[in-house]
Structure 1
Amino acid sequence: MGLLTGLLTFPLAPVRATAWVAGQVLEAAEREYYDPAPVRRALAELEQELLAGRIDEDAYDRRENELLDRLEELERRDTQRRAP
């Protein structure tokens, strides 16, 4: 970037910085949202609740189906992202 270009575009620096920060926040949120580890952890916790008697079979089945659907969705998205 030349000196003249730098001087002329200097007023836009806060806009570029804000856009960069927003992009970083979006990437972090997507990584967290699409991470399968919390879903697997929730499945394990759900099983513990069933074994401890804190929930019944019907509640377990409903929540397990939701979590397995979410896990399947995450795996399908991961497969699509890896495909050329």
Structure 2
Amino acid sequence: MGLITGLLTLPLAPVRGVVWVAEQLYEQAWQELNDPAAVRRQLTEVQAAREAGTISEEEAARREAELVRRLLPPTEGWEV
């Protein structure tokens, strides 16, 4: 980046900083959402809630299906 370009784009520095922070937050959230250990922990929590009777069988099945789908790698041609 040359001196002139640097001076002309200086007012955009705060915007670039905010975009960078947003990208970092998105990446971190995506990794946490798809972390196998976290998904397995959530499956255990769903099972415990089912056994305690705090959620219905249908709700537990729906949550488990979503969590298992997050564990499996995407297959081409399947909706994700």
Percentage identity across aligned positions?
40
Query: Does the 8 Å CA contact 1:34/1:74 hold for their aligned counterparts?
Result: yes
Rg larger in 1 or in 2? 1
Alignment of 1:14-33 (within 5 A): 14-33=14-33
Q: Which has the higher helix share?
A: 1
Count matched residues: 75
| Alignment TM-score, normalising by the size of structure 1 | 0.63
Unaligned runs of 5+ residues in structure 2 are none
The equivalent position to 1:70 in structure 2, one of 52, 66, 70, is 66
CA RMSD, Structure 1 to Structure 2 (Å): 2.8
Task: Compare relative contact order (CA 8 Å, sep 6+) and give the higher one, 1 or 2.
Answer: 1
Unaligned runs of 5+ residues in structure 1 are none
